């Protein structure tokens, strides 16, 4: 694995385009800027084409002999299936409004990371192979021939896009690079060009029940540890129902929440909240994953993984589904789930058993976001909160790409944070809400071998955090995404080491005054809360 350059080295970014035009620019694949290919065994288990060992650093990528035919047929098929594909191929005017909106371009200066050029990689082939004008005019019509080098370029750059959709906000026609990247990756899949960091989670989620491949009995043990930890911090012993038939609510959250810090604290936060309000819920070992790396692979894989949630809700006989803090998971739930695996006519329109609020906005999909649920609890005064327990935290909030740009979940998390924390500061307005910057590690690129690009891509986000850190002494970066919790932690350690990453429901749980709890002297991380330490400890 490549050594990641220091922040000082990395900061030296040249945004001036190179002399050579992009069609002539050689590809620069080197350790640190690509992700490792999927292991053959994993592709086999998923019935995906061309499983074999290969490396992007090799000259020969071991493509099937009829690769060209496969690609052209793959494009043709998707043009017929996706209006977006046709329209986005045809109407770009290359105004360049998107060019400097991409975090990977800002952080790397690589011209092919300008969203417009990322799309042109595919568009040039579309023109050359599928339009008369392109065939006639060749390069002058922006067309080029499909070669192995083009395929390599696609692999490199469609796995250097985090599908964050920031460029799409600024595009006058709403051309969505995420859509183009998704289609590009589907086509690459046909040749067996995919990355392990995506395909292994897909396999794990499909076969075992979550991305990380945690088996049911191990997950049970992990949750038992959380229960012990919660008791240690609060003095309250809680129960966590799994596989409970007839519960009112199925709770689904990304596996990152129970796998590693600091997601685990967010997970404990949910559990404490549910205990405190007496929610009749259950979790599932079978549908133990809210996230969906299938989204980063193909619409078919996305559907295969997502199908488990409704299936399990049906088997367990719940009334509705509650979803945890996760970014891309909520794109899948908000924009794809009902279409792919619905209708969920065996469920009821979600209604909070605590407040009686009916979530009309989830009438069909029957799945509610945890911050929608919690802000409703707070609004109705159902939670006993002591925000002063979070007074040592000066908090800012990172809007995750998908809940913002594929849903519009802006105020709910802010409302929750402001009710559980007294010190809240926004980052500069051009870096939040619909203009938020990606953590740099989304869409399945949060692997170690891609670290240099992740730190580059995360630079705009980190720099905005740096700004509020310098100005307001912000030391806490709250977020509602499991990938963020892991990726932003790495990013902060690299760029802004004084800032710690928290999930929103960790902050909630710290402020939550539970019935029968002992005096809280530590937070969920078992770190002393300033001003509330044990007398003996002081």
Among positions 148-177, residues that touch other proteins (CB under 8 A) are 165, 168-176
Nearer residue to other proteins within complex by CB, 56 or 115: 115
Question: Could you tell me the smallest distance in angstroms from the CB atom of residue 448 to other proteins?
Answer: 25
Distance CA 406, CA 372 (A): 16
Distance CA 282, CA 505 (A): 18
Query: Of 416-435, which residues contact other proteins (CB under 8 A)?
Result: 428, 430-431, 433-435
Please pick, from the candidates 1, 6, 15, 235, the single residue that binds other proteins as defined by CB under 8 A: 15
Which residues, including other chains, have CB under 8 Å from residue 535's CB and lie 6 or more apart? none
Residue 38 in the binding site for other proteins (CB under 8 A): no
Distance CA 184, CA 74 (A): 10
Please pick, from the candidates 63, 75, 99, 477, the single residue that binds other proteins as defined by CB under 8 A: 99
Distance CA 254, CA 155 (A): 27
Tell the residue number behind the tokens 């690509």, with chain if given: 34
Please pick, from the candidates 30, 58, 133, 531, the single residue that binds other proteins as defined by CB under 8 A: 133
**Of the ranges 29-37, 114-122, 269-277, 485-493, which one interacts with other proteins (CB under 8 A)?**
114-122
Distance CA 115, CA 98 (A): 6
Query: Of 270-329, which residues contact other proteins (CB under 8 A)?
Result: 285-286, 299-300, 303-304, 307-308, 311-312, 315
Q: How many CB atoms lie within 10 A of CB 129?
A: 18
Residue 80 in the binding site for other proteins (CB under 8 A): yes
The sheet that has 395-398: what strands, in order across it?
395-398, 476-479, 500-503
Residue 361 in the binding site for other proteins (CB under 8 A): yes
**Of the ranges 74-82, 225-233, 483-491, 528-536, which one interacts with other proteins (CB under 8 A)?**
74-82
Residue 485 in the binding site for other proteins (CB under 8 A): no
Question: Could you tell me the smallest distance in angstroms from the CB atom of residue 188 to other proteins?
Answer: 18
Please pick, from the candidates 51, 327, 440, 460, the single residue that binds other proteins as defined by CB under 8 A: 460
Residue 140 in the binding site for other proteins (CB under 8 A): yes
Query: Of 387-406, which residues contact other proteins (CB under 8 A)?
Result: 404-406
Closest C-alpha among 115, 110, 109, 113 to residue 96: 115
- Number of residues lying near other proteins (CB under 8 A): 118
Query: Of 208-227, which residues contact other proteins (CB under 8 A)?
Result: 209, 215-217, 220
Residue 364 in the binding site for other proteins (CB under 8 A): yes
Query: Would you state the torsion angle of the CA atoms of residues 520, 524, 526, 527, taken in this order, to the nearest 10 degrees?
Result: -80
B/e letters for 468-483, b = 16+ CB within 10 Å, e = fewer, are bbeeeebbbbbbbbbb
């Amino acid at each position: 694995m490549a050594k990641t350059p220091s922040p000082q080295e990395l900061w030296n970014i040249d945004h001036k385009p190179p002399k050579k035009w992009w069609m002539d620019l050689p590809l620069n694949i080197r350790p640190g800027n690509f992700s490792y290919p999927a292991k053959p065994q994993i592709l086999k288990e998923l019935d995906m084409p061309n499983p074999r060992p290969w490396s992007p650093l090799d000259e020969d990528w071991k493509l099937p002999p009829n690769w060209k035919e496969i690609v052209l047929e793959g494009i043709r098929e998707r043009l017929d299936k996706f209006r977006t594909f046709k329209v986005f191929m045809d109407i770009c005017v290359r105004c360049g409004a998107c060019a400097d909106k991409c975090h990977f371009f800002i952080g790397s200066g690589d011209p092919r990371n300008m969203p417009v050029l990322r799309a042109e990689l595919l568009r040039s082939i579309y023109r050359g192979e599928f339009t008369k004008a392109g065939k006639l005019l060749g390069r002058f019509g922006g067309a080029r021939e499909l070669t192995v080098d083009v395929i390599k370029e696609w692999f490199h750059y469609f796995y250097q896009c985090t599908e964050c959709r920031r460029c799409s906000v600024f595009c006058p026609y709403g051309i969505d690079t995420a859509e183009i990247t998704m289609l590009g990756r589907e086509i690459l899949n046909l040749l067996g060009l995919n990355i392990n960091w995506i395909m292994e989670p897909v396999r794990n989620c499909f076969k075992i029940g979550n991305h990380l491949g945690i088996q049911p009995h191990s997950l049970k043990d992990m949750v038992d540890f959380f229960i012990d930890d919660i008791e240690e911090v609060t003095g309250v012993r809680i129960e966590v129902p799994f596989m409970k038939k007839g519960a009112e609510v199925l709770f689904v959250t990304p596996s990152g929440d129970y796998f590693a810090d600091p997601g685990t604290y967010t997970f404990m936060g949910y559990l404490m909240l549910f205990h405190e309000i007496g929610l009749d819920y259950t979790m599932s070992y079978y549908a133990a994953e809210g996230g969906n790396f299938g989204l980063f692979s193909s619409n078919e894989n996305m559907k295969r993984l997502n199908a488990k949630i409704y299936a399990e809700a049906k088997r367990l006989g719940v009334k509705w589904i509650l979803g945890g803090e996760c970014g891309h998971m909520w794109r899948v739930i908000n924009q794809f789930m009902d279409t792919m695996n619905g209708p969920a006519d065996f469920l009821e329109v979600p209604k909070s058993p605590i407040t009686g609020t009916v979530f009309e906005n989830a009438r069909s999909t029957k799945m509610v976001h945890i911050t929608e649920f919690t802000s409703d609890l707070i609004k109705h005064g159902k939670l006993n909160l002591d925000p002063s327990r979070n007074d040592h935290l000066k908090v800012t909030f990172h809007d995750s790409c998908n809940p913002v740009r594929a849903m519009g979940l802006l105020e709910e998390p802010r409302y929750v944070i402001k009710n559980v924390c007294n010190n809240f500061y926004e980052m500069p307005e051009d870096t939040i809400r619909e203009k938020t910057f990606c953590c740099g590690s989304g869409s399945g690129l949060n692997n170690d071998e891609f670290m240099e690009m992740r730190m580059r891509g995360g630079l705009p986000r980190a720099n905005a955090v740096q700004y509020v850190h310098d100005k307001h002494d912000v030391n806490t970066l709250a977020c509602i995404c499991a990938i963020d919790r892991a990726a932003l932690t790495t990013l902060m350690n690299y760029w802004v080491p004084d800032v710690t990453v928290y999930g929103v429901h960790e902050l909630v749980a710290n402020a939550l005054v539970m019935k029968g709890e002992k005096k809280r002297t530590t937070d969920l991380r078992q770190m002393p809360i300033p001003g509330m330490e044990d007398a003996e400890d002081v």
